[in-house]
Structure 1
Amino acid sequence: MEIRDRTPDDLDACTKALAEVQASDRYPVDWPRDPAGWLTPDGLIGAWIAVEAEAVLGHVALTRDMEVTRLFVTPAARGRGLAARLLDTARAAVETPLKLEVSSEGTAAIAFYERSGWRRVGSGRARWLNAAGEPALVYHYVSPPRSGEEQVG
């Protein structure tokens, strides 16, 4: 298994992996009209994938405002540390602290981020709707400090 830069040629395989995640976890909550476009948000500065035997097992993206986004691991590949490796790859790409937001419904993701040292710094309502059809409650997190770095936020 390797973590590498995502290329445009990978988008079909990423979309297939995302479909597996959406069927299992309802992430994203609503299937996008253009999944490849959704995986390539405005301000994208980097995207990485976990690949094994030419299958995409996981994905993460980073935007210019230092936000981690579109992080997922396929259900069959979970428990192998891929999410942590993908996050580490995004963190290694820049020298500043990162941020992310996660839906309050994503209890497994929240537990993972908090176990990994990410710190919740706020919450708010999203523009998209949760499973109940209401604006989703999202939690805002900042990355843990690297050695020698002070906590931000």
Structure 2
Amino acid sequence: MTIRLRNSEDMDACVEALAQVQAADRYPVDWPDDPWGWLNPADLTSAWIAIEAGAVHGHVGLTRDAEIVRLFVTPAARGQSVAAQLLDSVRAAVRGPLKLEVSSEGRAAIAFYERSGWRRVGSSRADWVNTAGEPALLHHYVSP
């Protein structure tokens, strides 16, 4: 598996990987009307992918304010440290602490972050709804 910066030619493969994740995990909860746009929020500065044999198996983005966004790993690539490798790539490119938000429904993601030394610093309600149709509970983390 190779981790590298994402480029515009990768977008169709990123959307395909996102579709696999959404089908397996409902991340994002609802399929976006514009998946390209969802993968490119307005404050995105960089994005990395995990790629092998032309297929994208993981993705992570970084915003201007050092927030990790759009981190996902396809079901086929789980258990291979892909998420850790993606986060390591971001850490290598950024000085200082990183932050992220994760829905309380993302139990596997929460367990991964906490095993990796990320520290929960608070929680809040989102302006979008979770799978139960309620405002999602977001946990806020900072990097080790």
Place the TM-score, normalised by the shorter chain, in its bin: over 0.9
Q: CA deviation at 1:92?
A: 1.2
**Structure 1: distance between partners of 2:43 and 2:136:** 23
**Structure 1: distance between partners of 2:75 and 2:8:** 23
Q: Identity over the aligned pairs, expressed in percent? A: 73
Equivalent in the alignment of 1:124: 124
**Structure 2: distance between partners of 1:136 and 1:43:** 22
**Structure 1: distance between partners of 2:122 and 2:142:** 10
Q: 1:1-153 counterparts in 2 under 5 A?
A: 1-144=1-144
Q: CA deviation at 1:7?
A: 0.3
- The amino acid that maps onto 1:30 is D
TM-score (norm 2): 0.99
**Structure 2: distance between partners of 1:16 and 1:24:** 13
Q: Secondary structure at 1:122's aligned position in 2? A: strand
**Structure 2: distance between partners of 1:106 and 1:89:** 22
Q: Secondary structure at 1:72's aligned position in 2? A: strand
Q: CA deviation at 1:43?
A: 1.1
Q: Secondary structure at 2:21's aligned position in 1? A: helix
CA RMSD of aligned residues (A): 0.5
**Structure 1: distance between partners of 2:106 and 2:94:** 26
Q: Secondary structure at 1:89's aligned position in 2? A: helix
Q: CA deviation at 1:42?
A: 1.2
**Structure 2: distance between partners of 1:91 and 1:141:** 15
Gaps of 5+ in 2: none
TM-score (norm 1): 0.93
Gaps of 5+ in 1: 145-153
Q: Secondary structure at 2:111's aligned position in 1? A: helix
Q: What CA deviation, in whole Å up to 9, does each residue of 1:69-123 have, x standing for no partner? A: 0000000000000000001111111102000000000000000000000000000
Equivalent in the alignment of 1:150: none
Alignment length, in residue pairs?
Answer: 144
- The amino acid that maps onto 1:27 is Y
**Structure 2: distance between partners of 1:87 and 1:75:** 18
